[in-house]
Amino acid sequence: MTPEVLSPCGGPESLEAALRCGADAVYFGASRFSARKNAVNFSDDALKDAVRECHRHGVRAYVAINTVVTDAELSDAAALIELCCSAGADGIIIQDMAVYEIARKACPGLMLHASTQMTVHTPAGVDRAKKLGFKRVVAARELSVQKISELCGRGVEIEVFVHGALCMCVSGQCYLSAMIGGRSANRGLCAGACRLPFSAAGKPADKYALSLKDLSAGRLISDLADAGVASLKIEGRMKRPEYVAAATTAIKAYRDGGTVDTGALRAVFSRSGFTDGYLSGRRGSGMFGSRQKEDVEAAAEALPALRKLYEKPEKRFSLDMAFSAKRGLPMALTASDGAVTVTVSGDVPEEARTRPTTPSDVSEQLKKLGGTLYDPGKVSAEVEDGLSVPLSKINAMRREAVERLDSARSEPKPIPFDKSGLSFDFPLLLIKKTPELRIRAEYPEQLSKISLGGAETVVPIERAADFAEAGIDPERAAVSLPSFDSDEEKTVRRLEFAKSLGYNEVECSNIGQIEVAERLGMTPVGGFGLNITNSLSARHYFAAGLKKLVLSPELKAAQCSGISCPAKLGAIAYGRLPLMIFTNCPIAAEVGCKSCRKRLTDRTGAEFPVLCKKEEGYFELLNSRVMWLADKLERFNLDFVDIMLTDETPEEAARVVEAYRRGRESLSVGFTRGLYFRGVE
């Protein structure tokens, strides 16, 4: 199977560039719920027009509804899905399981794509997506071609990014922009804080430790095709039309074995060049880069030439035409693009006064298809001797045939949408709860001076045995799985061992981990990485067997308390919140492991600890400030709150837990309330 070239469209001009340069499919956002909120995007009417124009070109149109939503937005999300159905969109790309639930109930005929924001990166994740009814999974960008091959052939299409910007963080797991500036990546307003100066050496003025070069993986496209990848995705809904034209042209040429102008591709946009480090498995310092002055200047020079790439539409169809002109009968032209056939009638031909029209004259005129989407296919003409057929009449009939074929393809094919089964009125439990403490620890020693008193704990899977040996009751504990699973088979073996020790609960941060826990007969519980921000999403996971859920740290306290779900609900109330998960260590890239200070410094001098999980294949950037809510717990009507211990000593951990048990104890400096009282955009 030849994979499709999937192009980004931030607005109508980019759509035109993608269509004219040969994209097989495009993706774009609406005015709401788009992970690129600052792109031009498409109004309701423009979205319908965009789908029609795509289908006129024979191109598939996918709509990105790939942000999380709140309870107050569920009706609007349903209205957008209904709009996509009425427009006949070929699929929607989603992150939030509430969007999934709406689509599953109201329009089961609509194709669903699991966004890269869902952090699907393992075979079990793909299997779970298939069970849920997803047609396609957009794989995490951190995977190698070998890892991607393990996702293919499992009954779900796999889509892979092959060109464009690379986020430092695993998609769907970034809270840096939200915590620093209140602009949520999960809500479509990422401020790109990772592109600002950060340094592992404490001098960030000219260091960009969290900025990766853009991806360009043209040389690996044949390997991806051989692996079974269905879609080659170009990032860039925030980029200009010339970028879309250049990238679409290049990726199409790479796929088809053509010639690629790599200079033009780099000139239109790059960050100190390109990388294919994740896909090729060559990580390290060579993947890092930032936008330089010369990059900007090169783009300005390249734009005029790149506009020529989409001056004219690409020929998409072979047009077969059969013309007939007989005495006493209207002229007829039958035209077919292989899928649709139309017949156009003309005037009755007249007797020739001078030179009669020949079949060759008609055929040559019919073949003049410049400016259309068609190349001439099989063209035949039958003209009785002695007749005159004006060229203007032939042209008019040809134009009408083309217009009717275009119209037939672009005619909306609505997908049935039945809203009768939808309800967003969720009953609220009005009983005031006092949240219990649940303690998350990195090391057993951190719990050595704490009187647990029956409190539940969460321990990392790699140290489950150490915690059990230290006296932690496995029946009162959950094991947390790696935030990014680089070796799913190893995780399964570890879980089997943890189960033999008496552990049963498994905290999961993505749908693949839920699948693994279920296969082993263990009880999955939801971690904050699931990004639960509404009652419908929470109820989806409860119905899937998750009886405990940690809500998104991007919710306000009142929003947390307003989530309606039979599951036990909780929130992170203390600790250094992981702001990023990455699989390429920025410290090692800048100064090497031997000089590691286990922290990054930003331009303000703030220091962000980095939790090294090298043995697990990833690293976590922690917040520079500790979250403190011991004096605000009464603002949360929840079943439990999490105390997240990362680098605390046993003495510090004991003081924290005791303070939260007493309640109403505040700190004077050096802490944050997170986003619980300021929220996000």
pLDDT tens column, 32-62: 999 999 999 999 999 999 999 999 999 999 9
What pLDDT is attached to residue 302? 87
pLDDT per residue as tens digits for the range 77-97: 999 999 999 999 999 999 999
* Nearest-angstrom CA–CA distance, 332 and 165: 52
What pLDDT is attached to residue 204? 76
* Nearest-angstrom CA–CA distance, 265 and 645: 46
What pLDDT is attached to residue 430? 72
- Return the half-sphere exposure (C-beta side, CA atoms, 13 A cut-off) of residue 426: 20
SS3 state of residue 282: coil
With beta carbons less than 8 A apart as the criterion, state whether 87 and 412 touch.
yes
Measured CA to CA in angstroms, residue 273 lies from 35, 238, 292, 663 at distances of: 25, 19, 10, 53
* Nearest-angstrom CA–CA distance, 366 and 457: 77
| pLDDT higher at 462 or 205 | 462
Residue for token pair 């017949």:
343
Assess whether pLDDT exceeds 90 at residue 301. no
Give the pair of three-digit tokens for residue 569.
């609900």
Residues of the chain within CATH 3.20.20.70 domain(s) are 4-166+212-313, 436-576+625-672
With beta carbons less than 8 A apart as the criterion, state whether 449 and 651 touch.
yes
Q: Phi and psi for 196 in degrees, rounded to 5?
A: -85, 165
Q: CATH for 4-166+212-313, among 3.20.20.70, 1.10.3720.10, 3.40.50.2300, 3.40.50.2000? A: 3.20.20.70
Find residue 380's DSSP bridge partners. 322
Assess whether pLDDT exceeds 80 at residue 540. yes
pLDDT per residue as tens digits for the range 477-488: 999 999 999 999
What pLDDT is attached to residue 511? 98
Assess whether pLDDT exceeds 80 at residue 320. yes
Looking at the chain, the whole-number percentage of residues with pLDDT higher than 70 is 100
* Nearest-angstrom CA–CA distance, 459 and 480: 6
* Nearest-angstrom CA–CA distance, 146 and 143: 8
Averaged confidence pLDDT in the chain: 96
* Nearest-angstrom CA–CA distance, 350 and 110: 53
What pLDDT is attached to residue 453? 87
Span 436-576+625-672 CATH architecture: Alpha-Beta Barrel (3.20)
AA letter at 347 = D
Q: Rounded mean pLDDT of 253-276?
A: 93
pLDDT per residue as tens digits for the range 132-180: 999 999 999 999 999 999 999 999 999 999 999 999 999 999 999 999 9
Measured CA to CA in angstroms, residue 432 lies from 478, 633, 665 at distances of: 26, 12, 21
Helices 74-87 and 44-56 sit at what angle, rounded to 10 degrees? 30
Q: Rounded mean pLDDT of 298-321?
A: 92
Q: Rounded mean pLDDT of 236-264?
A: 95
pLDDT per residue as tens digits for the range 329-340: 999 999 999 999
Band (pLDDT 50/70/90 cuts) for residue 617 is: very high
pTM of the model: 0.96
What pLDDT is attached to residue 292? 87
pLDDT per residue as tens digits for the range 209-233: 999 999 999 999 999 999 999 999 9
